[in-house]
Structure formats: structure tokens, C-alpha cells
């Protein structure tokens, strides 16, 4: 799995020119068909279908699905919607109130929060390391009222550092899309799933 930008034509160009690297061995990725179609729901209730690109590494021969930066692994909602839910939870909202605000089923929001809480410490630690790695002089976020709040604060602070570091290269990406990019779409992966925060430029 490799997270890529939102501009399909740019992704295709980079793939055809060999500018995308394998996340396993850093070999050159080339076009290799498409994954199965999937639907994504936007914050306004809109829904669209996409067929993610698949790529194959010229080095290790592994194949990878190129996941759009607005999507998380195995989630039907765009990352900005899920990020909004996490932000509201950090502010003390319960899952039913969040679900009503976002127009999503309460069980869906409860599942997002449960998954995030299951790996909250690794996320807080990983994004704090990213923040310090990009800007050693950055002020660390103040402690929040919960572990979930601490992790959300670390993610948002790291996103600010990413923008300061790479500027125009990440213009148009929201903080949650940046978080999806550096985590390879695994913000809500099951607890225990290996995940590293990409501290090099992932776009």
C-alpha cells in the first residue's frame, strides 16, 4: 500500500516516469492495472467511485495499491470526515453527538474512535517524532484532557511542520490528508498492525 496525491493525472505521470518508489525496497514502481472499485463518501454526503491504481516494483516484484491521500485503508469516508470526528472527540464530544453532527451512523463513528484509541499512544509518539524531526525548535503541544486529545494535537502540530518544511509541494492538502499520507492510510488500522510514520517526503 502506498499513499499518493489527489491529482490522478499527476500520479499517472509519476508512475509512468518511474518517480514512485516501492515502500518495501525503494525500487522503481511501474503501472500494473487497477484494484477493485471502491466508493468514498464526502463530508457533504456526496459519493463517488474510484478504481485505485495498482503498481508493481521492478526490484522486489511486489504489487501495491496506490491509495488516494483523501482515503484511509478500508474506510468508506474521506479522511477529513474521520479527522473531524476525532477532533470533536478530543474536544469531549461523545460518539452519538459526533455522528449526528456529521450525518454518519453512531456505530460507524464509535468504530472510528475505538480503532483510534486502540493505537493512540503509537500515533502520539510517531507524530511527535515527525514534528521534532522536521522542526527541532517546534513547541510541543500542551497536554490535552485525554490520550486521544494528545494524539490529535500531535497530528495537527506535525501537519503544520510538514507545511513549513515543504510549502508549495503540499499546498491544497488538509492536515488530515497529510496525516493519511505519512501514515500510509493506516490511522485507523487495527491495534498491533505494523505502522511507521514516513519522515521523508511521501508525495
Name the band, by pLDDT with cuts 50, 70 and 90, for residue 93: very high
Name the band, by pLDDT with cuts 50, 70 and 90, for residue 195: low
- Encode pLDDT of 149-160 as tens digits: 999 999 999 999
H/E element, 30: strand 29-34
- Encode pLDDT of 5-25 as tens digits: 878 888 899 999 999 989 889
Name the band, by pLDDT with cuts 50, 70 and 90, for residue 94: very high
Name the band, by pLDDT with cuts 50, 70 and 90, for residue 168: confident
Rounded distance between C-alpha atoms, residue 152 and residue 121, angstroms: 11
What pLDDT, on the 0 to 100 scale, is given for residue 91? 97
**% the chain with pLDDT above 90:** 64
Strands 2-4 and 63-68: parallel
Q: How far is CA 65 from CA 53, 88, 184, in A?
A: 6, 31, 11
Say if CB 71 and CB 40 are below 8 A apart: yes
Tell me the three-class secondary structure of 64-85, residue by residue: EEEEECCCCCCCCECHHHHHHH
- Encode pLDDT of 111-163 as tens digits: 999 999 999 999 999 999 999 999 999 999 999 999 999 999 999 999 999 99
Say if CB 197 and CB 16 are below 8 A apart: no
Helices (runs of H) and strands (runs of E) counted in the chain: 7, 6
Least confident stretch, 48-57, 81-90, 117-126: 48-57
- 87 Cβ neighbours under 8 A, 6+ residues apart: 152
Q: Give the mean pLDDT of the chain.
A: 90
**Biggest CA-to-CA distance, the chain:** 49
What number is the average pLDDT over the span 28-46? 90
What pLDDT, on the 0 to 100 scale, is given for residue 166? 86
What pLDDT, on the 0 to 100 scale, is given for residue 200? 58
Rounded distance between C-alpha atoms, residue 11 and residue 203, angstroms: 10
Q: How far is CA 127 from CA 13, 36, 63, 86, in A?
A: 30, 31, 27, 15
Identify which of 47-51, 134-138, 187-191 has the greatest average pLDDT.
134-138
Rounded distance between C-alpha atoms, residue 171 and residue 11, angstroms: 16
Amino acid at each position: 500500500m502506498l499513499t499518493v496525491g489527489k491529482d490522478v493525472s499527476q500520479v499517472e505521470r509519476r508512475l509512468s516516469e518511474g518517480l514512485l518508489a516501492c515502500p518495501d525496497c525503494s525500487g522503481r514502481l511501474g503501472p500494473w492495472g487497477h484494484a477493485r472499485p471502491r466508493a468514498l463518501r464526502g463530508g457533504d454526503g456526496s459519493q463517488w467511485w474510484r478504481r485505485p491504481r495498482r503498481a508493481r516494483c521492478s526490484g522486489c516484484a511486489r504489487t501495491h495499491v496506490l491509495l488516494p491521500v483523501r482515503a484511509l485503508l478500508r474506510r468508506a469516508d474521506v479522511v477529513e470526515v474521520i479527522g473531524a470526528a476525532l477532533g470533536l472527540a478530543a474536544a469531549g464530544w461523545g460518539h452519538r453527538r459526533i455522528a449526528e453532527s456529521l450525518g454518519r451512523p453512531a456505530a460507524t463513528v464509535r468504530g472510528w474512535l475505538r480503532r483510534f484509541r486502540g493505537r493512540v499512544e503509537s500515533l502520539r509518539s510517531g507524530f511527535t517524532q515527525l514534528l521534532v524531526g522536521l522542526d527541532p525548535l517546534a513547541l510541543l503541544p500542551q497536554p490535552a484532557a485525554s490520550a486521544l486529545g494528545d494524539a490529535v494535537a500531535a497530528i495537527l502540530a506535525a501537519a503544520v511542520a510538514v507545511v513549513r518544511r515543504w510549502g508549495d509541494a503540499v499546498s491544497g492538502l488538509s492536515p488530515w490528508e497529510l496525516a493519511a499520507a505519512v501514515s500510509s492510510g493506516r490511522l485507523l488500522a487495527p491495534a498491533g498492525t505494523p505502522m511507521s510514520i514516513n519522515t521523508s517526503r511521501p508525495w
